[in-house]
Structure 1
Amino acid sequence: MGLWVLAAAAGMTLPDAHAEKLATYVVEPTPVADEIVADATIESTRQTSIAAQISGRITGLYVKAGDRVNAGQRLLAVDQRAADQQLAAVRAQAAAARAELDVARRELERTQYLFDKQYVSQAALDRAKARYQSASSMAQARLADAGAAAVGPTLHNIAAPYAGTIASVDVELGSMAMPGMPLITLFDPGALRAVATVPQARAAALRPDLPVRIELPDVSGAQHWQTATSVTILPVADSLSASVQVRLSLPASAGVVARPGMYARAHFLVGAPRPRLMVPLAAVVRRTEVTAVYVVASNGSATLRQVRLGETRADRVEVLAGLSTGERIALDPLAATNKR
C-alpha cells in the first residue's frame, strides 16, 4: 500500500502494454448550474385510512398489503348479524323519537289552544314549544341515523373508494372491528410527491420557476431521476430544525417505482450554468487519502495522477485541480491497473 501511494505521488507511468485498448474520456468543460441538494421523503397526496362504521367480527378479508385494487372492489366484510342488530337498534330509536315528537306536537297544539283562550300563561306555551323543538331535532337525528344504517350492505361489505394500492391491512380474519377502528390503509400511486427539507438560510435562493430534479437512490435505470411537475415552497419554517419544507409533485409514472416513505434527494437549480471539468465517477480511484485518475497519454501510456474533487452530479464529479482541458482519462481504473 505504501509503495502504491509513493508511486501515485511521483506520477509513475504504467507500462503501456495494451493501453491503447483502454476506454477513455476526454476532459472538456461542461456547463453545469449551481444547485441545492436536499433530503426528501416520498408521500402520497391521496392516502385513506378506511375505518369500521359498525362493530362486528371480520368474516372476510380479500386483500393484502401491496395489492392493487379497483374503485368499488370489495376489501373485507364484517359479520352481517352485527349489522342487522345495529340496524334494528337504530330503527327502534328512530321509532321512539317519532313517538316522542308526536306527543310533543299534540301537547303544543293543546297548549296553544288553551293560551288562545287565556287559560294558560305565556311561560307554559314557551315550555311546550321548547319541548316540541327538542323532540323535532332528536327525531331528525334518529331518522338520519336510520337512513344511514339502512344501507346495510355498505356497512358490512367495505369496498375501495378509489383505485389504488393497499398500504397496510391492520386487522386479521376473525378479529373484532369497532366503530372508528382503522381497518385498511389505501393510497393512490399516481398521486405522489417528494417533500424536501431545505435549510432556512438557503431557502431564499430557491427558484420555483426552474426545473427541480428528484433523485431516487434506490431505483436504477431511467426512472432513477424524476422531474417535479409542480413546486410549492411552504411559507412557514420549522423553528426546531431551522428549515423550510418544499413539496414537489411527481409525475404519475413515478408510482411504478416510488412508494410512500421512500428516501429521495431533491436537486434545486439556483443559478446560471458555468463551465466545469466534470468526469465520470467510475473513472475515479480512491485509496486511503489519495483520490486519483489514470491519465492516458498520446502514446497510449497510462499515468496515475492525484486530483482534487468538488461536487457530485448524478454519475459525474467535478475536478477542481489535477486535470486540464483536452486530457484523456481511463474510464476503467481496474483495467488500467491490470495492464501494467
Structure 2
Amino acid sequence: MSDVFSRRPLLLLRHRLTWLAVAAAWSVNLAWAQAPVQVPVAAVERHAVGAGFEMDGVVQPVQQSTISAQTAGRLVSMAVKPGDRVKAGQLLATINDSETQAGVQSSQAQVAQAQAQLRNAQANFDRTRDLLAKGFISSAAMDSADAQLKSAQAGRDQASAGARQAGLSQGFTRVTAPFEGWVLQTQAEVGDLAMPGTPLLTLYAPTPLRAVVQMPVSRSNAITPKSEIEVQVPAADGAQLWIRPTLTSRMPGADPVSQTIEWRLELPATAANTLVPGQQIRVRFAAGEKQRLVIPAAAVLRRGELTAVYVAGASGFVLKAVRLGADHGEQGFEVLAGLQEKDQVALDPVKAGLSGAQPLAAGAVAK
C-alpha cells in the first residue's frame, strides 16, 4: 500500500511532462501554419517563337498495290493471309483454269490448221509458178495462187497470236506477287467468282514509308519552301522523336469537298522499325518566327480537363484557367488565352494553392 502512494508523485510528473510536450508541439505547428508559404513567380512575357502548327497524319507505304484478277473463274485457293511476308514471284492465289485450258487447246488446234493451210498454199504457189514458166497457165492464175499464199500466212500469224493470248490467260490463273513485301489484307475468299478487275488482296513494301497529311487550303498556302517540317515518331525506348522527312511533296490540286491539299512526307528507312501502315502520327509545320506570350512549363497545372495557372494578386494567388498553344521546349508553352503580359505566375502551383501562400520577391530565397 505504501508503494502505491510512493509512486503517485512520479505518475503525476509524467502526465505533466506529456502535456507540456503536446502543448509545445501545438505551438510549433501553429507558428508554422501562421508563417506564409513563399512561392517563386515568373512574369508572362513575349518571346520570339517558331510560328507554325501541328496536324495529324497517317502512315502509308510508298509502294502498295491491290492485286486483282486478270481472268474469269472460281477462286480455287488463297495461299497467303494478312501479315504474311512474300517474295517477288511467289504464288498468292489460284483461279480455276478449266475455261482457259480449253482456250489453250482450241488455239493450238487453230495453229495446226493454219499451218496445214499454209503448207497447201505454198505448194500450190510453187506449182503455179512452174506452170507459168512453161507457159501452160495465165498470169491471172499466178496472182490467185500468190493471194492464197499470203492469206494462209496471215491466218497462221493470227492463230499464233491467239495461242499466245490463250497462254497468257492460262498464266493469269496463277496470281503471283509483283514485288517483295507484306500482305496487308485479303478481299476475296476461296469459292468466290473472280472477274477481270476483281480485287483479291493488298500487298505493300515495308520500306519506304510516308506520312500523309490532309491540310486545309488556307494553311497550305502559308507554307513556303523554307518552312521546316518535322514528323513525330516513337523511338525504340518508347520516347517520342521529331525527325525530318527525306522528301516533301504537295499535290497540285485540292479536294473539292473537304477543301484540303494532300501533303506526302517520305520518312527515313529507320522509321519503319517503329511505324506501321495506318498509324496516326503528329506532323509539325514551322513558318518563321512570331512574338507570342510564353509561360514556363513548371507554372502549368493540369487537373483532368482543366489547364490553369496561379496568378499573383494583391492578397495571394488566384487560379485562372488558360488555353495553351504549342510547346516550345525550354521556352515554355505558348498562351492563347487567359493571361496578359506582365502577369506573375507561380512556378510551383502546388504550393501556390496552399492557404496564405504569397509570391516570393525577386532575388529573395524561399523559406
The TM-score normalised by the length of structure 1 is 0.66
Matched, 1:247 2:264: yes
Matched, 1:266 2:280: no
Q: Deviations over 1:274-302 (max 9, x none)?
A: 575154499244799x86313699xxx98
SS at match of 2:140: coil
Aligned equivalent of 2:108, options 82, 89, 94: 94
Matched, 1:143 2:164: yes
Q: Note the C-alpha offset of 1:325.
A: 9.0
Matched, 1:329 2:347: yes
Residue-pair matches, total: 309
Q: Letter of the aligned partner of 2:110 in structure 1?
A: A
Matched, 1:206 2:227: no
Q: Deviations over 1:30-57 (max 9, x none)?
A: 6521114445433322112223456344
Superposed, 1:25-174 pairs within 5 Å as 31-52=48-69, 55-59=73-77, 61-65=78-82, 67-72=83-88, 76-78=92-94, 82-83=96-97, 86-87=100-101, 89-104=103-118, 106-107=120-121, 110=124, 117-120=138-141, 129=150, 132-143=153-164, 145-146=166-167, 149=170, 155-156=173-174, 158-173=175-190
Matched, 1:227 2:244: yes
Q: Note the C-alpha offset of 1:193.
A: 1.8
Q: Which residue of 1 aligns with 2:28?
A: none
Judge conservation of contact 1:34–1:271 (CA < 8 Å) in 2.
yes
Q: Which residue of 2 aligns with 1:11?
A: none
Q: In 2 relative to 1, CA 84–273 (structure 1 residues): closer, same or farther, beyond 3 Å?
A: same
Q: In 2 relative to 1, CA 253–77 (structure 1 residues): closer, same or farther, beyond 3 Å?
A: same
Q: In 2 relative to 1, CA 210–317 (structure 1 residues): closer, same or farther, beyond 3 Å?
A: same
Q: Letter of the aligned partner of 2:248 in structure 1?
A: V
Question: d(CA) in 1 for partners of 2:322 and 2:187?
Answer: 53
Question: d(CA) in 2 for partners of 1:221 and 1:177?
Answer: 45
- Worse-superposed segment, 320-329 or 253-262: 320-329
Matched, 1:191 2:190: no
Q: In 2 relative to 1, CA 127–75 (structure 1 residues): closer, same or farther, beyond 3 Å?
A: closer
Judge conservation of contact 1:190–1:253 (CA < 8 Å) in 2.
no
Question: d(CA) in 2 for partners of 1:196 and 1:16?
Answer: 57
Q: Letter of the aligned partner of 1:230 in structure 2?
A: L
Q: Note the C-alpha offset of 1:318.
A: 0.7
Q: Which residue of 1 aligns with 2:358?
A: none
| Gap runs ≥5 in structure 2 | 1-32, 133-137, 356-367
Judge conservation of contact 2:229–2:283 (CA < 8 Å) in 1.
yes
SS at match of 1:270: strand
Q: In 2 relative to 1, CA 88–310 (structure 1 residues): closer, same or farther, beyond 3 Å?
A: same
Q: Note the C-alpha offset of 1:136.
A: 0.6
The percentage of aligned residue pairs carrying the same residue is 24
Q: Note the C-alpha offset of 1:230.
A: 1.0
Question: d(CA) in 2 for partners of 1:176 and 1:338?
Answer: 71
Matched, 1:303 2:320: no
SS at match of 1:195: strand
Judge conservation of contact 2:69–2:197 (CA < 8 Å) in 1.
yes
Q: In 2 relative to 1, CA 23–215 (structure 1 residues): closer, same or farther, beyond 3 Å?
A: farther
Question: d(CA) in 1 for partners of 2:326 and 2:37?
Answer: 28
Q: Letter of the aligned partner of 1:103 in structure 2?
A: Q
Judge conservation of contact 1:38–1:196 (CA < 8 Å) in 2.
yes
Q: Which residue of 2 aligns with 1:312?
A: 326
Judge conservation of contact 2:186–2:201 (CA < 8 Å) in 1.
yes
Q: In 2 relative to 1, CA 49–147 (structure 1 residues): closer, same or farther, beyond 3 Å?
A: closer
